[in-house]
Structure 1
Amino acid sequence: MKTIIITGTSRGIGAELVKQFVAEGHQVIAVSRKANPEFESLKNVFFKSVDLSNEAGLIHFSNQVKAEFNSVDILIHNAGTIVNKPFAEISAAEFEYVYKVNVFGVAALNRVILPLMNAGSHVLTISSMGGIQGSMKFPGLAAYSSSKGAVITLSELLAEEYKDQGIAFNVLALGAVQTEMLQEAFPGYQAPINPLEMATYIKDFALTGNKFFNGKVLQVSSTTP
């Protein structure tokens, strides 16, 4: 049984990840601002309401995790937000908020949870094909896609910094998955993959991918977008 932290669990891929890990006997710390009522009937799910942009709240969260679970085996950064507007119409506050959630929140959570991780642990960041250098880009996603590129580089750097401690960092850059966020980015588009299917892939990679990869970005996409 592994102890797994997953962010962005109130809906979509994050919610499916929680259910799949628990079904396999792992204990999951489900992090989001609001609870998912589906989890109330599940054993080994521990919901924590955490504002990833609040340093004091993150320190409190890490102290709770240390007291209740002692250590963490897998950390999955799944939380994300999006603004779909022409660049000229995105306010500074909107641009900053996207980075607070998609980049600064990832860095801050890493900072407080890494001391609780041991050799063999895995930090997995869910990014986007939009963050891949040289990939097709789409108007309106300047804040979102650039933030997803930033966490890719962050993960590559942390893999180097923590390799002597045996903690692996990897990124899955997802293509189109039929989620609410996809509809915000591409209204009306029907993706070939649903959240359940993608969660299954992510779950398996989170459990075993660190045996084969470290500091790598895997592109998980069958279509454009």
Structure 2
Amino acid sequence: MPIRPCYSLPGYKTKYDDVDLITIRENTEGEYSGLEHQVVRGVVESLKIITRQASLRVAEYAFHYAKAHGRERVSAIHKANIMQKTDGLFLKCCREVAEKYPEIVYEEVVIDNCCMMLVKNPSLFDVLVMPNLYGDIISDLCAGLIGGLGLTPSCNIGEEVLLLLRLYMVLLLILLESMLRHLDLHDKADRIQDAVLNTIAEGKYRTGDLGGKATTTDFTKAICDHL
């Protein structure tokens, strides 16, 4: 399942300076199940698949992540007011898992309202968990809050494999940090994170994707100097 942390970078000015949230997306089913066909000429149909097994799996991971990383709130994003069966099952599974984590605040937010809340006050959110299509869209929206996709690592975590995606200069280092945290090497991850944030905040060595003119060699040297 794709995990995308989005947090404001000190010294890199955007519209918001208090973003610190995690999007967790189920990505094996939903509208992206690939089940489409033509009913008759001029009419096509796409099937949305939601299963209890996949919903419980992503909900369990979201709450486990929140607890392990000191997060206080999990928000289930849905459209169950319209898709009562599919998103209704997803929410039912989220509620079932939430009962096992009484220390975590659980809420359900309709995706329409979620989008509005994110652009008005993203600090209202902590961990967001959602079905496939919603996660694809919301995670990109969240990336825009902090400066773009070039600043948001994306990890696709399965039971046996951790896949790290998006190779920009900053992301390469943030992804390394994410991998180290996944391996419980938090001290080393903290050193890398601090070096990246301090280099960006310093403002002297920013690459083109951050609005600067520094080369990747300059940026790398600055990172090493801050380690």
Same fold at TM > 0.5:
no
Q: TM-score, normalised by structure 2?
A: 0.35
Q: Which has the larger radius of gyration?
A: 2
Q: Higher relative contact order by CA 8 Å / sep ≥ 6: 1 or 2? A: 2
